Amino acid sequence: MFTASSHDENYSPYITFNREEWARLRDSIPLPLSQDELEALKGLNEKVSLDEVSEIYLPLSRLLNLYVAATQELHAATNTFLNSTTEKVPYIIGIAGSVAVGKSTSARILQTLLSRWPNHPKVELVTTDGFLFPNRVLEERGLMKRKGFPESYDIRRLIRFMADIKSGRPEVCVPVYSHLYYDILAEDEQIIRKPDIIIVEGINVLQNSRNRNQNIPRVFVSDFFDFSIYVDAKIEDIFQWYVERFQLLRDTAFQNPQSYFHRYAELSDTEAMDTAKKIWLEINAVNLQHNILPTRERAHLILKKGPNHSVSSVKLRKL
């Protein structure tokens, strides 16, 4: 049984687990993931081991499986009460966090683990990158250097998507974003057909606004979530991971002549470091501190990472 680590824990909205305490909550669930499968799920500079999956993500998938099962039972109870049969709607999980913190890898691992539980085999993953305005719109509005900030997203379209999913529409389309071209692919789309679970991943998914501008919807993306996760780390660690990823991209994806960032392919190590630092300080750090980090305590669960990318503690919101 878990015991709060300090007296102050009793007054926190969260229960905090160290890595060992959280790992024990895996119970006896076997690990349904191979090393080869994990390699395919990892991001470019993500250092995720099978031990990490076993000790962090498997207990989390067990918790979510219990939550999904409880929701399904509640749906059945409602049908019994109404003496009718209404189709269940997807259980929606939101995953937020900074650029370069590893939330995309976390989302892919969770998608894979959750799809291997027998009562919800169809798990879809959607990233909010697809709801960025196309570059031509961002350029018209002078927002290219604000890409990733709240105003760079077509929030109305994203809200419509969430409402369509939660209302049980049989088929919903999602715009597709290309990191190679750094833009929306106008001729491509992701089709979502009634999944059991849908994971919505993006830096902006827990953001809300007190701005009373009539053009900003009063409904927020997070209003549709059944459960939300924030992937957290110290800002200095995220900065280091961002620089490492930028240097890796310089030697890989940026080498492609079709890449939007091909101009960075021939940078020296020093130039790459200076460029990455400039982009981080002028764009990503500002967005993190002003828009993303303030949403952390809105999450149901916080995964806190250490300098080596591994999760050191987990905070679970009390019910």
Mean pLDDT within 222-227: 96
pLDDT over 90 (residue 84): no
282 and 292 Cβ atoms separated by less than 8 Å: no
Query: Which of 69, 52, 60, 65 minimizes the C-alpha distance to 25?
Result: 60
Give CA–CA dist 232/218, Å, rounded: 27
Mean pLDDT within 271-295: 97
In this structure, the number of other CB atoms found within 10 A of the CB of residue 284 comes to: 20
Q: How confident is the model at residue 209 (pLDDT cuts 50, 70, 90)?
A: low
pLDDT over 80 (residue 198): yes
Percent of the residues in the chain that have a pLDDT greater than 90, as a whole number? 83
Mean pLDDT within 88-110: 96
Give CA–CA dist 180/254, Å, rounded: 8
The CA distances from residue 210 to 99, 215, 300, in Å, are: 24, 12, 21
Q: How confident is the model at residue 69 (pLDDT cuts 50, 70, 90)?
A: very high
Return the residue matching tokens 């079709």. 258
Query: Which of 176, 215, 199 minimizes the C-alpha distance to 57?
Result: 199
pLDDT of residue 66: 95
Tokens of 306: 């250490």
b/e map 128-141, b = 16+ CB within 10 Å:
bbbbbbebeebeee
Query: Which of 229, 227, 245 minimizes the C-alpha distance to 237?
Result: 245
pLDDT of residue 10: 67
pLDDT of residue 227: 98
pLDDT of residue 7: 43
207 and 130 Cβ atoms separated by less than 8 Å: no
Return the residue matching tokens 């501190």. 289
Mean pLDDT within 256-268: 96
pLDDT over 60 (residue 295): yes
Q: pLDDT tens digit string along 11-61? A: 789 999 999 999 999 988 999 999 999 999 998 888 899 999 999 999 999
Topology, domain 7-317: Rossmann fold (3.40.50)
Mean pLDDT within 248-263: 96
pLDDT of residue 74: 92
Q: pLDDT tens digit string along 151-171? A: 999 999 999 999 999 999 999
Q: For the chain, which residues make up each domain, given as ranges?
A: 7-317
Q: Where are the beta strands (DSSP E) in 193-233?
A: 197-201, 227-232
